[in-house]
């Protein structure tokens, strides 16, 4: 038995391919970004995303094999994101995986994208000590989870509407910043004062999130105060988001005994979040686990690592037939 998995991830706007072995060692990881295609729309245009995946997927797979110095016959299986995500984008990855699996006579396993994110912190080296509390903050999702071990995952709370990343992107657009707005909003926030009292939605709910009201509050404020200092708006918005994320993470750490507190997803790049999470972990005497950023944003290495979990635990998910499963079925 070989110990290399080909991971394929096309759930959103990146065509990502990786080869990973059973220790989580990444032999190659290639991400073909579509930011240039979508930036003119200020968000992802699903039809363009799927068409771009069709163009890039085979050359990207080829490149990943070349970089790793591995041949298709040397792999054990193919792991491919089966959801959640944009259906037209997912289908490009799934059909490619199934076709290659038939041609190469390799098993194809459908992987939950969110399980990939949850496991991303263990790529390249084992970082997470279980039981762990995990905050996932990406462009597509926001939730707190508790993992007793790699196969015992409980979702503590999720967002009722927008994700954190999406909210950053929309506020970025309101402020006239380039897509994706997260990094630009963060940079602007550093120059401002958090002196505007934006709401902290659902602050009294233990683990549930909501961000659409905050987004509307920023929009209303900008309409009523066109001369407001944009940096102050950004700083006040970021502070409101941080207060909510840290309060609920604190609730989770108080209620669930954890050795690690892990933050994954693109918003984990936020320096404000990193700083405030560190303070929280010092207070709660929990180890803060922040994986390198390249594993926080969408990538296929995390999908390949999750595929290893399925193989070791003897779970087999049919890639296509399982497309309609609830998002938190791992």
**Site residues for ligand KG4 per CB under 6 A:** 12, 138-140, 165-166, 168-169, 180-183, 186, 265-267, 269-270, 297-298
* From ligand KG4, Zn ion, none, interface partner of 150 (C-beta below 5 to 8 A by class): none
* From Zn ion, ligand KG4, none, interface partner of 270 (C-beta below 5 to 8 A by class): ligand KG4
What's the Cα-to-Cα distance from 87 to each of 15, 43, 192, 246, 290, rounded to whole Å?
A: 14, 17, 40, 33, 30
- Judged by CB, which is closer to Zn ion: 89, or 249? 89
Q: Which of 155, 106, 114, 110 is nearest to 302 (CA)?
A: 114
- Judged by CB, which is closer to ligand KG4: 101, or 140? 140
- Judged by CB, which is closer to Zn ion: 138, or 210? 138
Q: Measure the CA–CA gap between 117 and 306, rounded to whole angstroms.
A: 9
Count of residues of this chain found to bind Zn ion when the rule CB under 5 A is applied:
2
34 lies in the binding site for Zn ion (CB under 5 A): no
The pattern of x and - marking residues 96 through 135 that bind Zn ion according to CB under 5 A reads ----------------------------------------
Residue 260 has a CB neighbour count (10 Å cut-off) of 19
Helix (H, G, I), strand (E, B) or coil at 275: helix
Report yes or no: 10 and 98 within 8 Å, Cβ to Cβ. no
* From ligand KG4, Zn ion, none, interface partner of 85 (C-beta below 5 to 8 A by class): none
* From Zn ion, ligand KG4, none, interface partner of 201 (C-beta below 5 to 8 A by class): none
Residue 2 sits at φ, ψ, to 5 deg, of: -75, 165
* From Zn ion, ligand KG4, none, interface partner of 83 (C-beta below 5 to 8 A by class): none
Query: What is the number of alpha carbons within 13 Å of residue 227 lying toward its C-beta?
Result: 0
Minimal distance in Å, beta carbon 221 to ligand KG4?
20
Minimal distance in Å, beta carbon 262 to Zn ion?
15
- Judged by CB, which is closer to ligand KG4: 12, or 78? 12
- Judged by CB, which is closer to ligand KG4: 77, or 92? 92
Report yes or no: 39 and 141 within 8 Å, Cβ to Cβ. no
* From Zn ion, ligand KG4, none, interface partner of 297 (C-beta below 5 to 8 A by class): ligand KG4
- The pairs formed by 212-218 with CB atoms below 8 angstroms and a separation of 24 or more are 212/161, 212/162, 212/167, 214/167, 214/240, 214/241, 215/162, 215/167, 215/170, 215/171, 218/171, 218/174
272 lies in the binding site for Zn ion (CB under 5 A): no
89 lies in the binding site for Zn ion (CB under 5 A): no
- Judged by CB, which is closer to Zn ion: 122, or 298? 298
Residue 52 sits at φ, ψ, to 5 deg, of: -65, -40
Single out the segment in contact with Zn ion by CB under 5 A; choices: 37-45, 136-144, 175-183, 184-192.
136-144
- Judged by CB, which is closer to ligand KG4: 138, or 260? 138
Q: Which of residues 284-313 bind Zn ion (CB under 5 A)?
A: 298
Minimal distance in Å, beta carbon 80 to Zn ion?
14
138 lies in the binding site for Zn ion (CB under 5 A): yes
Q: Measure the CA–CA gap between 191 and 246, rounded to whole angstroms.
A: 22
DSSP 267: G
Counting every residue written for the chain, the total comes to: 330
- Judged by CB, which is closer to ligand KG4: 122, or 169? 169
Q: Measure the CA–CA gap between 325 and 330, rounded to whole angstroms.
A: 9
Helices (H) and strands (E) in the chain, counts: 11, 10
Q: Under the rule (CB under 5 A), what is the footprint of Zn ion?
A: 138, 298
């Amino acid at each position: 038995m070989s110990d290399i998995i080909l991971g394929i991830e096309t759930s959103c706007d990146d065509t990502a391919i990786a080869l990973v072995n059973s220790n989580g060692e990444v032999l190659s990881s290639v991400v073909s970004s579509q930011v240039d295609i979508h930036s003119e729309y200020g968000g992802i245009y699903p039809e363009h995303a799927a068409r771009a995946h069709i163009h890039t997927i085979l050359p990207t797979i080829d490149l990943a094999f070349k970089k790793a110095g591995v041949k298709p016959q040397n792999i054990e299986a193919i792991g491919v994101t089966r959801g959640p995500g944009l259906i037209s984008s997912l289908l490009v990855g799934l059909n490619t995986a199934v076709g290659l699996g038939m041609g190469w006579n390799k098993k194809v396993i459908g992987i939950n994208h969110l399980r990939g994110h949850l496991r991303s912190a263990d790529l390249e080296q084992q970082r997470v000590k279980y039981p762990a509390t995990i905050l996932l903050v990406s462009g597509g999702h926001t939730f707190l989870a508790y993992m007793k071990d790699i196969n015992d995952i409980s979702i503590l709370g999720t967002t009722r509407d927008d994700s954190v990343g999406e909210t950053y992107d929309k506020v970025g657009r309101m402020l006239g910043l380039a897509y994706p707005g997260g990094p630009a909003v963060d940079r602007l926030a550093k120059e401002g004062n958090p002196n505007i009292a934006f709401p902290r939605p659902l602050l009294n709910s233990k683990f549930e999130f909501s961000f659409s009201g905050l987004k509307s509050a920023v929009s209303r404020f900008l309409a009523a105060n066109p001369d407001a200092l944009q940096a102050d708006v950004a700083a006040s918005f970021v502070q409101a988001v941080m207060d909510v994320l840290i309060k609920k993470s604190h609730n989770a750490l108080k209620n669930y005994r954890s050795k690690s507190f892990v933050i994954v997803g693109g918003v984990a790049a936020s320096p404000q979040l990193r700083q405030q999470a560190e303070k929280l972990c010092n207070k709660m005497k929990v180890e803060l686990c922040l994986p390198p950023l390249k594993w926080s944003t969408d990538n296929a290495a995390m999908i390949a690592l999750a595929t290893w979990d399925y193989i070791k635990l003897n779970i087999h998910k049919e890639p296509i037939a399982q497309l309609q499963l609830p998002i938190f079925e791992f």
